[in-house]
Amino acid sequence: MDLEDIAGRLGVPVEEIERVHELADGVRSVPLPRKADAPALLDRLAVAPEDAAEIMMGWPDLDSPLWTPELRWLLDRSIALVRADLGGHGWLPPGPELPRERGVAWRHLYVYAYLALTDVVMAYHRDHGVADSVSWATLADLGRNLAIDRRMHGEGWPVMQSWLTLHARGGVFELGRLQHERGDTIGLHIPEAGPLTPQAVSASLDQARAFFPRHFPGEHYTAFSCGSWLLDPQLLEYLPADSNIAHFQQRFELEPYEEPEGIDADVEVRRFVFRSLSTPLDELPRRTALQRAVLDHWKAGRHWYWRRGLFPV
């Protein structure tokens, strides 16, 4: 099969298959865990029973009729692509967005790649002295994202499949309430994991201040950073001054606003506040103060903006 044939059979642009081929060229893939061991691994990765059942149903057994040659090629090369950037912390799509309605193999192909890479990234963590408890807490973001995608009726996965390559490469670590991404600064991410209280945030930051010098002594960080609609000062027009979001914003010095490339803040607000990208505005819930703030803002004809801020480590 040539690359054009693979792209045609997958129904994706040939440029995306060429990109996968180029980034994975010369890199060996790694096998998936034994199928018998997969249920325990999925449980360790906090994968909900309904998602685990689908994943097991579509398992890429050698004799599975669900796995066509082009799907097997993409799985193998996607694993190699991510493995080639072990230790990296840039945004890395593992492959093209697939038409997931074509079945469980199509729907979960990048999940199988993640499972194959679990031992690889766990070994990388151990080489850096990272405790297994931190490793498993970090990697369990797979289950969280699959559950969110299920709630979003599949709308969330195209972003999630790239986000999760950070975990599979050792580029992000969950330390308490926040996820901390390696890079020029320690980038902060906020998982769906309970209230964003000032106390929980401070404890997580303290963990990071000890974690990175200990486990990555060659990396010298002077600042925490965050890029998010959560840093949009317009939120303070609606939320109490003592709200968790207000306290979080107060930690940062905002950079001058620049239109972010490839990010629509209104879409991201829909993604994170309502977990829906397509529900009409008048059908979105108003259960929380944040939801009411977002909707009132939109109904006034206004928009949200993606802002980036920093504060010293």
104-143 per-position pLDDT tens digit: 999 999 999 999 999 999 999 999 999 999 999 999 999 9
pLDDT value at residue 239: 96
User: What number is the average pLDDT over the span 4-25?
Assistant: 98
pLDDT value at residue 259: 85
User: What number is the average pLDDT over the span 247-263?
Assistant: 94
User: What number is the average pLDDT over the span 205-214?
Assistant: 98
User: What number is the average pLDDT over the span 78-96?
Assistant: 97
43 is written with which tokens?
Answer: 């449980």
Give yes or no for residue 6 having a pLDDT over 80. yes
pLDDT value at residue 1: 77
Give this prediction's pTM: 0.95
Q: Which domains does the chain have, with CATH numbers?
A: 1-170 (no CATH), 173-313 (3.40.630.120)
User: What number is the average pLDDT over the span 195-217?
Assistant: 98
Torsion-angle region of 11 (φ positive above 0: left; ψ -120 to 50: alpha; else: beta): left
How many other β-carbons are positioned within 10 Å of the β-carbon of residue 13?
11
pLDDT value at residue 173: 98
pLDDT value at residue 164: 98
State the virtual CA torsion across 68, 70, 71, 72 in degrees, nearest 10: 90
Strand partners, 76: none
pLDDT value at residue 135: 98
pLDDT value at residue 41: 98
